[in-house]
Structures are given as C-alpha cells and as structure tokens.
A and B are shown apart, each in its own frame.
Chain A
Amino acid sequence: MVFVGKIAYLLLFPGMLFVLLAGLAARAVLAGVGTAVAGRERRGAGAGTGFLFSAPRSECIATDGSLHAVTWIAPVVKILALSWVSCLVFGFIRGDLVLLFALLLLASGADVVVAFTSGNPRVRQSAWPEAASLAAWAVPLGLVVATVSLRTGDPTLSGLIKWQSTNGALVAAKGGAAAQAGTVLALVAALAAALALARLRPLGRGYLSDAPGGLLDDVSGPPLAFFIAGETVGLFVIPLVLVALFFAGPAAHPYEIVFWGLKVLGVFVLLALVDVVSARARSRSALIWGAGAAGAIALAGLVLTWIGVSA
C-alpha cells in the first residue's frame, strides 16, 4: 500500500502531473519576461508549448533502428527523475542530497545519451557540447551540495529544510562571516548551474533556442512532446531545488506555502531575465567562462564554509 501511495505521489502530486502544470506556468512566465524585456512578443517564446500539444498527434519518424528506442525512453526517464526530485523537496518521499544530485544527473544524462546514440551525424556533433553542458552544472552543483551539507551538518533534504526553519534561510543564517560568505558564493554558483541545468541561456543549450543541429533535430512525434515536457518540467523543478537549498522555511500554514511559491517564482524570474538578456551570448565562450567561473566560485564557497564551520 505504501508503494502504491508513493507511485501516486510520483505520478500525480507533487510528481509528474503537478510539475508539468507548474512547468507550463513557468513557460508562460518565461514568455512574459521576454515580452516585458524585449518590448514585444518574442516569436518562439511559446514554441515549446505548441509542440507539447501538437507533437503527440503527429507521426514519429524513426531512422536509428533499435537505438531509436532511446529517444522514447530518455525523455520519460528525465521526467520521472525530475518528478522524483519534486517529491523529495515536498517531503512526500524521503531522500538525501546525494539522491537529489544523482536524480538531476540522471535527468541531464538522458539528454547526453540521446545525442551520443543518435544516427544523425549532425545530432552526434552536439553530443560533446551536451556533455560539456552537463559538466558545467554538475561540478558546481556537486560542490554546492557539499557546501550546504557542511553548513547544516545534515545530508538529508528534510533535515536541511528543518534546519532552515529553525535558523532562517541558509543564505541569511548566522554562523560566522566565513561561513556566510561561503554560502553566498555557493548561491551564486548554484544560480549559474541552474541555468545550465534548466537549459536556459547562456550556459544551457535550449532544445529550441539553440542553433540548428541540436539534440531534437532527429526527433518527431510523441518523443518530441516528451522532450519538450521534460524541459518544461525542469523550468519549475530547478528553481524549486534552489529554493529548498538556500531559501527554505516553514511550510505548515497556507500563507507559508504561498510564500514558498513566491520564492520559487522570484528565483525563476531571475533565471528567465538572465536567459532573455543573454540571448545573443556566444554559447561556447559562455559555457567555458561560465562553467569555469561557477566551478571556481563553488570551490571558494566550499573552502570558506569549511573554514567557517571548523572555526
């Protein structure tokens, strides 16, 4: 019975259905931020939503033989992994920060596998950039997770949220200048990692906003809708993870839950703004400098936090 309950969490709330609907709302916000900043409707901002509803009805053109199955399985694995992350953050399924990191790695790794196994040489060309994009967020976020665990002394997600309920949001919690500075640096690195993870510019490789020859060039029909759904889900889950790591607080009362929602919205609007204003950033340069800087900042944050906690 417990198992069935967990499956229901994973599929309905706060799993797949919930994160998909919340992701659609995030897409609307992304389009709105683009409109507000650019002064007019950005063509293409809502493109993904269209595929989400039209692609399931259209034909799936298979060219890769048995490997074509990967294009069906990978996006589903991604959506499941991100739904699981949402369940972890909401506390419906227990897990620690290592599991959270592993699930995010699984979600992002699914895209890399698709690129490497594609029968289309243009898509295979994008496999190494995809892998580089994965490294761009995985290294900083790994260090950030270590920083957060070190600061709170608790590797579980529920313990982290409880710690923040008692001591205040991690980013503002008292605990020595070095530890505070380390946490702020970790937040900066986490924001950069979130851009790459959510496939937002300049560090991320958006499915539809990137140059031709990208991951989805060989995908059509229902798998295309699954991929877009995976990207949509990520737009909500990744800010949610950031809020849980740095801005969490109590959520016992309805107004506190609304406040959580506002924090997630605030973080997402910040990410969307960076995405919109860096629309013309050269992706390769941005990836190298951004990933390098984020890794260095995260490492500095970890060292400072370690010094602060040890003192």
Chain B
Amino acid sequence: MSARRFGPRRQTPVFHIRLGCCGGCGDVVDMLLRGRLKGCPPLFECATPRHAELIVVTGLWNEELAERARAVIDQAPDARKVVFAGDCALGGGPFAERVKHLGVQPEGLEPDFTMGGCPCTIEALCEEVRHVVG
C-alpha cells in the first residue's frame, strides 16, 4: 500500500447532466465518478455547476431540456470543459427518430469534446476525461 493513497489527492469536480434516455451512458459516467475504473484521474460529482471544471452531458436532446441544460452550463465558470458522451447526446442513437427529439446538438452549445458509443465505454470515457483534465 503506497503512502500516496493516504494523502488528499487533487480531484476534478464534475457536474453530470442527464438528459434522459435508456440511462446506459449515465451509468457509465456514474461508475467513473465512483472510481470503478483503476487508473482513471480522480473525479468527484459536485452538487452545483458553479464548482464544475468538467460537465458531462448524456442522453437525448429535446427543445425544453436543451434550453435548461444551456442554463445549467451557463452557470459554470468559463474555464469549464463540456463533454457530450454517447450517441444520443450527439444527436444519434437508437431513439433518434422519436417525437420532439432535436436530432442534432442544440445551437450555441458547443462541446469541447465528444464521444460516441451506445453506450459509451468506460475506458473511452476515462481516456477522454484524462485529455480534458490533464
């Protein structure tokens, strides 16, 4: 057991926006936040977007949710990074033909990184997070 394990480590505050869908990608993000993958940068879920350095969006976009998600993301500091995770968040996925679904990413909301997959894999998401948080 290394001595480092006992010291406080730099943890990246993450705010997770679940837009709603099958929940697969959301569960992958939860697994990452709870440290289920060894070797991933330490993350923790913050209670408010004001503390977030990284915002992860999963699920399907529709008009109402897009507006609210934008309001949430606007509350985060300018330095935050936004990741859209999973096919649904990228405007695709098996539910893309549903009524009211935007089908594309909402305008004016540009992610810093995107990652597809249905659901996205935890290893790929970890790799993406590693790039974002350094």
State whether A43 touches B47 (Cβ < 8 A): no
Q: How far is the CA of A208 from the CA of B44 in the complex (A)?
A: 10
In the complex, the answer to whether B6 meets A35 with C-beta atoms within 8 Å is yes
A53-95 at interface with B (beta carbon < 8 Å) = 53-55, 57-59, 61
Of the listed stretches A166-174, A216-224, A295-303, name the one at the interface; the rest are far from the partner chain. A216-224
Q: Are A46 and B77 in contact (CB under 8 A)?
A: no
Complex contact B11–A44 (CB within 8 A): yes
Residue in contact with A35 in the complex, picked from B5, B34, B47, B79, CB distance below 8 Å: B5
Asked if A247 is an interface residue, CB under 8 A from chain B, the answer is no
Residues A54 and B53 in contact, CB atoms below 8 Å apart? yes
- Closest Cβ of chain B to A37, distance in Å, is 12
Chain B residues near A214 (CB, 8 Å)?
A: 47
Instruction: Assess whether B94 is interfacial by the CB under 8 Å rule.
Output: no
Q: Measured between alpha carbons, how far is A99 from B133 in the docked complex, in Å? A: 45
Contacting residues, chain A, for B78 (C-beta < 8 A): 59
- Report B-chain residues with C-beta under 8 Å of the C-beta of A218: 48, 50
Contact A212 B47 (CB under 8 A): yes
CA distance A58 to B51 in the complex (A): 9
Contact with B along A112-128 (1 / 0, CB 8 A): 00000000000000000
Are B51 and A46 in contact (CB-based, < 8 A)? no
B35–A217 CB distance below 8 A? no
Chain A residues with CB under 8 Å of B53's CB are 54, 58
Point out the residues of chain A lying under 8 angstroms from B75, CB to CB: 61
User: By the criterion CB–CB under 8 Å, are B79 and A59 in contact?
Assistant: yes
Per-residue interface assignment for chain B, residues 29 to 48, with 1 indicating a CB less than 8 Å from any chain A CB and 0 otherwise: 00001110000001110111
User: A201 at interface (Cβ–Cβ under 8 A)?
Assistant: no
Please, which residues of chain A bring their CB within 8 A of the CB of B8?
24, 27-28, 31, 45-46, 48-49
Q: Which of A61, A211, A217 contacts B77 (CB under 8 A)?
A: A61
For window 207-234 of chain A, which residues contact chain B by CB distance below 8 Å? 208, 211-214, 216-221, 224
A interface, size bucket = 35 or more
Interfacial chain A residues near B108, Cβ < 8 Å: none
Q: A50-B12, A213-B47 are in contact. Are A221 and B77 (CB under 8 A)?
A: yes
Q: Name the contact of B50 in the complex, choosing from A32, A43, A217 (C-beta under 8 A).
A: A217
| Residues 8 to 65 of chain A near chain B (Cβ within 8 Å) | 24, 27-28, 31-32, 35-36, 41, 43-51, 53-55, 57-59, 61
A31 and B8 alpha carbons, distance in the complex (Å): 6
Contact status B77-A43, CB under 8 Å: no
A88 to B8, CA, bound (A): 29
B6 touches A31 (CB 8 A): yes
Give B86 Cβ to nearest chain A Cβ, in Å: 22
In the bound complex, residues from chain B placing their C-beta under 8 Å from that of A212 are 47-48
A253 to B115, CA, bound (A): 62
With A and B bound together, what is the CA distance between A46 and B12 in angstroms?
10
Which of B33, B42, B50 sits near A219, CB closer than 8 Å?
Answer: B50
Alpha-carbon distance between A57 and B78 when the two chains are bound, in angstroms: 11
Q: Chain B residue with minimal CB distance to A29?
A: B6
Cα A53 to Cα B11 in complex, Å, equals 11
The answer to whether the Cβ of B103 comes within 8 Å of any Cβ in the partner chain is no
Chain B residues, CB < 8 A from A55: 51
Whether A43 pairs with B35 at a CB distance below 8 angstroms is: yes
Q: Is B131 an interface residue (CB 8 A)?
A: no
Q: 1/0 per residue B50-87: CB within 8 Å of A? A: 11010000000000000000000001011100000000
Give the chain A neighbours of B116 by CB distance below 8 A: none
Show 24 A/B contacts (Cβ-Cβ < 8 Å), sorted by A.
A24-B8, A31-B6, A32-B6, A35-B6, A41-B5, A41-B9, A41-B42, A43-B34, A43-B42, A44-B44, A46-B7, A46-B8, A46-B42, A50-B13, A51-B13, A53-B10, A59-B78, A211-B47, A212-B48, A213-B47, A216-B51, A217-B48, A220-B50, A224-B51
Which residues from chain B sit less than 8 Å from chain A, CB to CB?
5-13, 33-35, 42-44, 46-48, 50-51, 53, 75, 77-79
Closest 8 CB pairs of A and B: A46-B8, A212-B47, A32-B6, A220-B50, A59-B77, A217-B48, A58-B77, A49-B8
